Amino acid sequence: MSDDQPRRAPRPGGARRSASGGQALSGWLFITPVIVILGVFLVIPIAMAAWVSVSDWNGRGNPFGGAAGFVGVDNYAAILSDPGLQRQDFGTALRNNVYYVMLVVPLQTIVSLTLAVLVNRRILQARGFFRTAFYFPSVTSTVAITSLFLFLFTASGAVNRLLATIGVDGPNWTQDARGVLHILLAGLGVDSAPVALQGSPLLGVSWWNWLAGPSLAMSVFIIMAIFTTSGTFMLLFIAALQNIGGEVEEAGVMDGASGWQRFRLITVPMLRPTLFTVITLGLIGTWQVFDQIYTAGEAGGPSKTTLTPAFLSYQTSFTGNRWGQGAAIAFVLFAIIVAMTAVQRWVLRERDTVPRRKRFVLSDGTLAADAQGGR
């Protein structure tokens, strides 16, 4: 295990002082490029955006040289409290993304854990092949996968052909704005908003529309997210499973536990740190839906049901020229991500810590975060 102790052999005073002086200088020299680039392209921009989010800059001129005026919290009010299209769009984007998070995070966790458990069977042949197959979608770009999925889910595309073979008449997925829950309710005979749900108390979106569920178009992106991220998370779970090792499992067998009992009572609790990592990364990643919406080129369509806060922020600034509002959306999104992670940390807080393993998983987690965010 690493420690932060200085690794120096004791040396006579004079040489030692000059050596640590040299270390201080070269230490700073070595780290300067990273500090400068992250500072200039990450820290300073956040400060600049904070100013823009309370200004009325319209994209012309220099917002830091008099081309923008201070408007206080107007931009935040426009998306959070003032009745109007902007608030409604933000509410719609939030709704879409909430369903995306609620479905993708649990499903990708379950799918990747299942894949890991299946692939990790010691007696299994061709483990390498299966791991490769499941991981491959993770290395490809979101743009290429989006292009592919939009084709697979066209009205007469591959998916509907397959559905047709079992007698199901598939919808025109990517153009269908109907919410999944609305479709289910329609099946029960409820096809318009009951009076109780006609009010629109929250961000200008009615209860009925909050409860629409993800649209069929959004469902395509949900399936795609599970398809592309499950491989990465599978690798994390495999690493953790191999850490547990066979001994614990054997002890369970000796005690007469069935396969499912062993999985639920032994494996899952021991996977807790990894589950924590996967869910955290999932929560952070699923709030950042941008590339696929941009690539689809429908500006969040059909009927804004694939609009997400990240895309709305971009669109508001770059095509709507309301830069202040776009920046405000970005900060609200940031706050949501921080809050979600905090809540999840609290819910899944550890009662018994296993520092060694946690550290190992964390260093792997950064790999996954990088692969997923593509940064």
Partner 1 sequence: MAATTTHRAGQGSRLGTAVTMAVLVLLAVVYIYPFVVQVLTSFKGNADAVANPLGMPLVWTVDAYQRLFGSSDYPLWFRNSVVVTLAVTAGRVFFNSLAGYALARLRFPGRGLVFSCLVAVMAVPGVVLLIPKFLVINTLGIYNTFAGLILPLLVDAAGVFIMKNYFESIPASVEEAARIDGAGPFRVFWSVVLPMARPALITITILSFQGSWNELSHFIVAASDRDLFNLTRGVASLTSGALGSSADYPLKMGAAALMTIPVAILFFVFQKRIMGTSDGAVKG
Cis peptide before 194 (omega within 30 of 0): no
Q: Does 243 bind partner 1 (CB under 8 A)?
A: yes
Binding of partner 1 by 70 (CB under 8 A): no
Determine contact, residues 206/197, Cβ cutoff 8 Å: yes
Q: How far apart are CA 142 and CA 32, in angstroms?
A: 33
Residue 298 neighbours by CB under 8 Å, 6+ apart: 174, 306
Q: How far apart are CA 172 and CA 163, in angstroms?
A: 12
Nearest distance from C-beta of residue 304 to partner 1, angstroms: 16
Cβ-based nearer residue to partner 1, 194 or 246? 246
Q: Take residue 205 and report the two structure tokens written for it.
A: 């979106």
For residue 261, the tally of other CB atoms under 10 A from its CB is 12
Query: Which range touches partner 1 (CB under 8 A), out of 72-80, 168-176, 212-220, 239-247?
Result: 239-247
| Chosen residue from 77, 107, 157, 301 binding partner 1 by CB under 8 A | 157
Q: Residue from 73, 110, 162, 248 that binds partner 1 (CB under 8 A)?
A: 162
Asked whether position 284 contacts partner 1 by CB under 8 A, the answer is: yes
Residue ranges in 27-66 that form contacts with partner 1 under rule CB under 8 A: 27-28, 30-31, 33-35, 37-38, 40-46, 48-49, 52, 62-64
> Is residue 294 part of the contact set for partner 1 (CB under 8 A)?
yes
Select 199 or 259, whichever has its Cβ closest to partner 1: 259
Choose the stretch contacting partner 1; rule: CB under 8 A; options: 78-86, 208-216, 268-276, 295-303.
Answer: 295-303
The verdict on 261 binding partner 1 (CB under 8 A) reads: no
DSSP string, 193-223: --GGG----BTTB-HHHHTT--BHHHHHHHH
Please spell the DSSP secondary structure of 30-89, one letter per residue. HHHHHHHHHIIIIIHHHHHHHHHTTB---SSS-TTTTSS-B-TTHHHHHHHTS-SHHHHH
Q: Is 14 in the site for partner 1 (CB under 8 A)?
A: no
Is 173 within 8 Å of 159 (Cβ atoms)? yes
**Separation between Cα atoms, residue 191 and residue 213, nearest integer Å:** 14
Judged by CB, which is closer to partner 1: 22, or 194?
22
Which region among 19-27, 178-186, 203-211, 346-354 touches partner 1 (by CB under 8 A)? 19-27
- Which residues in the 84-123 window bind partner 1 by CB under 8 A? 115, 118-119, 121, 123
Query: What residues between 307 and 346 interact with partner 1 by CB under 8 A?
Result: 310, 313-314, 317-318, 323, 326-327, 330-331, 333-334, 337
Is 263 a binding residue for partner 1 by CB under 8 A? The answer is no
Check binding of 133 to partner 1 (CB under 8 A): yes
Cα separation, 109 vs 348, whole angstroms: 15
